[in-house]
Amino acid sequence: MDSREKLQRTLRHEPIDGVCVDFGATTVSGIHVSCVAELREYFGLEDRLVKAYEPYQMLGWLDEDLLDALGVDVCGIVPRCTMFGFPNEDWKPFRMPWGQEVLVSGHFQTRTDAAGDLWIYPQGDTSAPASGRMPKHSFFFDTVIRQEPIDEATLDPEDNLEEFQPIRDEDVAYFQREIARAAASGRGVIANFGGTAFGDIALVPAPFLKHPKGIRDISEWYMATACRQNYLHQVFGRQCAIAIANLEKIQQAVGDGVDAVFLCGTDFGTQTSQFCSARTFESLYLPYYKRLNDWIHAHTSWKTFKHSCGAVVPLLPHFIAAGFDILNPVQCSAAGMDPQHLKETFGRELVFWGGGVDTQQVLPFGTPVEVYRQVRQRLEIFGRGGGYVFNTIHNIQANTPVENIVAMLEAIRDVGRG
């Protein structure tokens, strides 16, 4: 079977030979630009600058030759514009603070302050306040909170809806082209069309807007989930209606060219607990996610992908009730997220996409033997009976030893050989 059939059978919970593999198909299953460069060198591929296609996390684009070398079965479609609101086009070289030269969009505009911190601007407009900051010794950007003073009497839900608009024809045409490119690769396809995550804390500060209004401070937003629920219902309800209208337009253009859709990146878990109770999830989030999932399942063949870091076991029945088909990144290091328990309890309803190796300790700081051992163990648990796409627990971070990444790949290949 080809890679697309492997993914489709995996999404149907059917067993396959070996395992379906993803690296780089989503912005939560990617690889830092520094590691992409090291992998290209390791495999003896053409020496070329890596494209930092997602500058917020400094994720590197994986070209076809590297995808082949890594044994990747899934191709990803990302929105036309980055997290900082500019399109990836007119690529230019740029030297990052750690010394690596990469390719960035021609709209990538920054300044370096006296402390050596790198500041980036929304939509590449240096006349607007900077919306991201990369500390001198960091490897990715942090969002700059640009919260205007909140007046409860005049707080308007429309201010938190500025980024949710009817999709433009040029974006639909972009998705058509990208999906055709992905389909030609023979790999399975997962797409992120944007606008479908309710309250994603990475998006709330709106690093892509020049002058965001409404509730944009992360602390204020979390307080709003408790004390401004009526306001959030108004935001989510309107956002949901726009999202469904946009999905309808996209589906008419791309049809069944997509196997899965990245629907939600909202994190509901911490290392030890949840950001909200199951009751709050049921009342505040579930109605809108269910509406989206129901529309997708009624009108398309797409499976829906839910990303949430952390200890989310108490919420998994509610994710399932909301209609999600896929869980990522399967953070097994968080409280209660035991791989065996997850597979036995939820493996019939959820496809697990991730969880293959710990990226907090084992992959970056363990030995190759420790990496190999954990990957084999996870594959034996999650891969049993189908319904598993291998990926690390979230993105492969900067400074991860290439020999550890290679040990991970060897474990995957050894399982595939039987």
Task: List pLDDT tens digits, range 221-254.
Answer: 999 999 999 999 999 999 999 999 999 999 999 9
Give the amino acid at 99.
Answer: G
Return the pLDDT at 12.
Answer: 98
What is the rounded average pLDDT of the residues 70-81?
97
CA distance 340 to 280: 28
Percent of the chain with pLDDT over 90: 97
CA distance 163 to 123: 13
CA distance 300 to 256: 7
Who has greater pLDDT, 150 or 299? 299
The string of pLDDT tens digits covering residues 345-395 is 999 999 999 999 999 999 999 999 999 999 999 999 999 999 999 999 999
Residue 209: CB atoms within 10 Å:
18
All domains in the chain, ordered by first residue:
3-30+70-81+147-417 (3.20.20.210)
CA within 13 Å, CB half, 281: 22
Q: Which residues, 6+ apart, have CB-to-CB distance to 44 below 8 Å?
A: none
Q: Rounded to the nearest 5°, which phi and psi values hold at 348?
A: -80, -25
Return the pLDDT at 266.
Answer: 95
417: pLDDT confidence band, cut at 50, 70 and 90?
Answer: low
What pTM value is reported for the model? 0.97
CA distance 199 to 208: 15
- 323 pLDDT more than 60: yes
